[in-house]
Structure 1
Amino acid sequence: MSTLYVPTPTAAWSVSDGAAEADAGRRLPEQTVACVTDAGFPRHFVPAAWGGNEGAFTDLLHRTAELAEGCASAAWCAALWAAHGRFAAYLPPEGQRDIWGTSADVRISAAVVPPSGTARRTGDTWLLQGEWSCVSGVQHADWLLLAAPEPEGEPGTGPLVLAVPADRVTVLDTWHSTGMRGTGSHSVLVPPLEVPLHRTFPMLDLMCGTPAPGRARCHAVPAQLGGALTFAAPALGAARHALRAWTTRAAKGPGVPGGSAREVLARSAAEIEAAGLLLDLAARRADAEHGPLAVAENRRDIAFATDLLVSAVERLFRAGGDQARDASSELQRCWRDVHTAATHGALRLDAAAAAYAEAVLGR
């Protein structure tokens, strides 16, 4: 269980303290947000020039999974705030200064896939407007990164990513999910808003991991090489939490668990551990390699690991008895969180398998 905490007037606060509240209230408690921020997640990939860590994918994977053992929703937002700091590093220096000029601990939410809304050139600015969905952690964000399709009349520009102060958008109450409820992944509505040119960058830079002077290695990584780890890591921690909850209850039951229960324990534990090893391999690959085959291998391994986590948690839930179905059950919450995380498009095995086959077979 995560030990990350910040002092409160009455006691030390750990993210697990706020997990049930986040699930019921569909947003993270302020103490949890402070905990995640103080633990350094938003600054994980921030350029060193602004006081950031320019961190590694492997470290983020393990820290996120640990956090998710306390609260999967908190880990989801933490990983995304970290990842979006990497995205923002593609902004021109003046745009980076706007975001990190006073602190590296800026929480950035984003909606970049698929691009939405419209952006129209008006002199030295882009006029942005529209609606973007699934903006995780937006209620606690300082800035947003929003992707818009290629502007009309600007052929060859491609989709753009634009940085917008969070207080300039309207948050729509749209996140009524089965799991990961505390992420508050609502939609945002942007009225016509002028965005300076220095707060934009081509989405192609993000997708390709375009290198440039002053960019650290972690900023020159193709989006699909490490991106899916952001969504799989919270599922790994939630699955470990589910295993711990199931095992604790089984150990307190009468007598020695029967053969079927022993098999549930062994198979689920092995699947979760195997998934963790695959994700660790993918994170290390993201920290060391760049090529198309590495991207395809990571997409394959991360998607397959997610399938293992779903299988393990599903088995634990089915063998959890009446208590597993109770609204207050930690196992039930983990089951919902893992299944919800696994629906993310970046974790789909069919798409990952197609990309891997094309990389290996050339078709």
Structure 2
Amino acid sequence: MSVNGSVVEAQAPVTASVAPSVAGDTGLFPAAEKLRALAARHAADADTTRVLSREVTEAIREAGFARHFVAARFGGTEGTFDELTRAVVAVGEGCAASAWCASLAAYSARFASHLPEEGHQALWGAGAGPDTVVATGLMPAGRAKAADGGWRVTGQWAYVSGVDFADWVMVCAAVAGQDGPPALRFFTLPRGAYTVRETWDSVGMRATGSHTVVVDDVFVPRHLSFDRADMLTGRNGASTVPAHNVPFQAVGGLTFIAPVVGAAVGALAACAGSITGRRRNQTAELTVVRASGRIDAARHLVTENAAVLDGRLFTPEHMARNERNATFAAEMLREAASLLVGAAGTGGLGEKHELQRFWRDITSATSHVALQYDTAARKNYAAVLLGPEE
């Protein structure tokens, strides 16, 4: 059965909650625990220099994030959304920017699974391996012109996180057709086929390297491109791996909210460590408890999203709820971070205090368009609750 072109593989009441499972763990979570400690040690320097150290980026690759959704025939993990989510949260407790890049390394490989078979071979085949890191510019920009055997692509794509250490980038551009509006396609380019302008200057998530990718009339062969509609609907003619056949509406927000949950857990620990002596009073204790409730509730919603994906509950109701969950979790985590800063007082805002870094990271990350009610959740979930507009 299909809904708006998306495959619906299971039906369940929208109020049902699927418990997460740790069965079948691939080893990503234990590796993430080690990465968390390493990333935490480098987090202050990364925040100052605005770049992740080579030691951290190599650890992200070695931990298995890039291979998590790669097909087993290439040495990939074919892992679950639940384990990836728990691993990203764990890394975020030490460094939100590291978790953000780890998350996108995994999800970008999932996006690239929509390439034709020859494209799979180019990214993960002989001589490449499953740990290829792809950075993605999801928002359409630029243009592509049909050429013999492919397209010539030109444009600029902002906010391409992790581009500093990526092996390939994937960008979305419009292709003018004979009739109707231009078609949107993703194009995949190897390092060296594009340039990077260092434009990322946010006060938070400084080390994500979310810079601008510039492509100037570069030829992209047919096997390194796919129709954007395939990713949106979850159609994948090149792969039968379950995680490669998931509608984007169901999964989109999870990519970005899991690192924020981790950052909030880290912020809670940083704040709790600062409330001692005269700072420990009833007001501070109540504030920290309120913040912890918001963080736990957000974690539950995010875990629920991963369970929906692993359970393949791709009904309109579940997909809309996943959008609602991600955006509401973002709202609660922003509130929690503000509460924690208030509880810690002036000391928590000191440049050397990790709480203020977590606070800035959470504020910056939750400004992402995928985590905004108006653009990501309101319309679809309102239709679930209230029915379609007249």
Question: Normalising by the residue count of structure 1, what TM-score does the alignment of the two structures yield?
Answer: 0.94
Give yes or no for the alignment of 1:188 onto 2:219.
Answer: no
Question: Following TM superposition, by how much is the alpha carbon of 1:49 offset from its aligned partner in structure 2, in angstroms?
Answer: 2.0
Give yes or no for the alignment of 1:112 onto 2:135.
Answer: no
Question: Following TM superposition, by how much is the alpha carbon of 1:362 offset from its aligned partner in structure 2, in angstroms?
Answer: 2.0
Task: Please show how residues 50-65 of structure 1 align to structure 2 within 5 Å.
Answer: 50-65=74-89
Question: Following TM superposition, by how much is the alpha carbon of 1:281 offset from its aligned partner in structure 2, in angstroms?
Answer: 0.7
Give yes or no for the alignment of 1:270 onto 2:282.
Answer: no
The more displaced of 149-158 and 200-209 is 149-158
User: Could you say what secondary structure the match of 1:168 adopts?
Assistant: coil
State how far apart, in whole Å, the 2-side matches of 1:154 and 1:194 are.
Answer: 23
State how far apart, in whole Å, the 1-side matches of 2:103 and 2:51 are.
Answer: 16
State how far apart, in whole Å, the 2-side matches of 1:77 and 1:94 are.
Answer: 26
Q: Is the 8 A contact 1:142 1:167 kept in 2?
A: no
Paired amino acid for 1:344: H
Identity %: 35
User: Could you say what secondary structure the match of 1:90 adopts?
Assistant: coil
Instruction: Give the 3 Å change call, closer, same or farther, for CA 14–275 of structure 1 in structure 2.
Output: same
Query: Unaligned regions of 5+ residues in structure 1, if any?
Result: 7-12
Question: Which residue in 2 is equivalent to 1:136?
Answer: 161
State how far apart, in whole Å, the 1-side matches of 2:208 and 2:238 are.
Answer: 35
Give yes or no for the alignment of 1:4 onto 2:29.
Answer: no
In angstroms, what is the RMSD of aligned CA positions? Answer: 1.7
Task: Please show how residues 77-226 of structure 1 align to structure 2 within 5 Å.
Answer: 77-101=101-125, 102-113=128-139, 115-153=140-178, 155=180, 158-212=183-237, 214-226=239-251
State how far apart, in whole Å, the 2-side matches of 1:21 and 1:124 are.
Answer: 46
Question: Following TM superposition, by how much is the alpha carbon of 1:67 offset from its aligned partner in structure 2, in angstroms?
Answer: 0.4
Question: Which residue in 1 is equivalent to 2:383?
Answer: 358
Q: Is the 8 A contact 1:4 1:35 kept in 2?
A: no
State how far apart, in whole Å, the 1-side matches of 2:247 and 2:274 are.
Answer: 43
Q: In the comparison of the two structures, how many residue pairs are matched?
A: 354
Query: Unaligned regions of 5+ residues in structure 2, if any?
Result: 1-29
Question: Which residue in 2 is equivalent to 1:302?
Answer: 326
Question: Following TM superposition, by how much is the alpha carbon of 1:287 offset from its aligned partner in structure 2, in angstroms?
Answer: 1.4
State how far apart, in whole Å, the 1-side matches of 2:263 and 2:72 are.
Answer: 31
CA deviation vs aligned residue, 1:199-235 (integer Å, no higher than 9, x gap): 1000000011014363211111111211211110111
Question: Which residue in 2 is equivalent to 1:10?
Answer: none
Question: Following TM superposition, by how much is the alpha carbon of 1:257 offset from its aligned partner in structure 2, in angstroms?
Answer: 2.1
User: Could you say what secondary structure the match of 1:201 adopts?
Assistant: strand
Question: Normalising by the residue count of structure 2, what TM-score does the alignment of the two structures yield?
Answer: 0.87
State how far apart, in whole Å, the 2-side matches of 1:36 and 1:122 are.
Answer: 37
User: Could you say what secondary structure the match of 2:330 adopts?
Assistant: helix
Question: Following TM superposition, by how much is the alpha carbon of 1:157 offset from its aligned partner in structure 2, in angstroms?
Answer: 6.9
Q: Is the 8 A contact 1:157 1:202 kept in 2?
A: no
User: Could you say what secondary structure the match of 1:242 adopts?
Assistant: helix
Question: Following TM superposition, by how much is the alpha carbon of 1:359 offset from its aligned partner in structure 2, in angstroms?
Answer: 3.1
Paired amino acid for 2:188: A
Q: Is the 8 A contact 1:169 1:188 kept in 2?
A: yes
Question: Following TM superposition, by how much is the alpha carbon of 1:77 offset from its aligned partner in structure 2, in angstroms?
Answer: 0.5
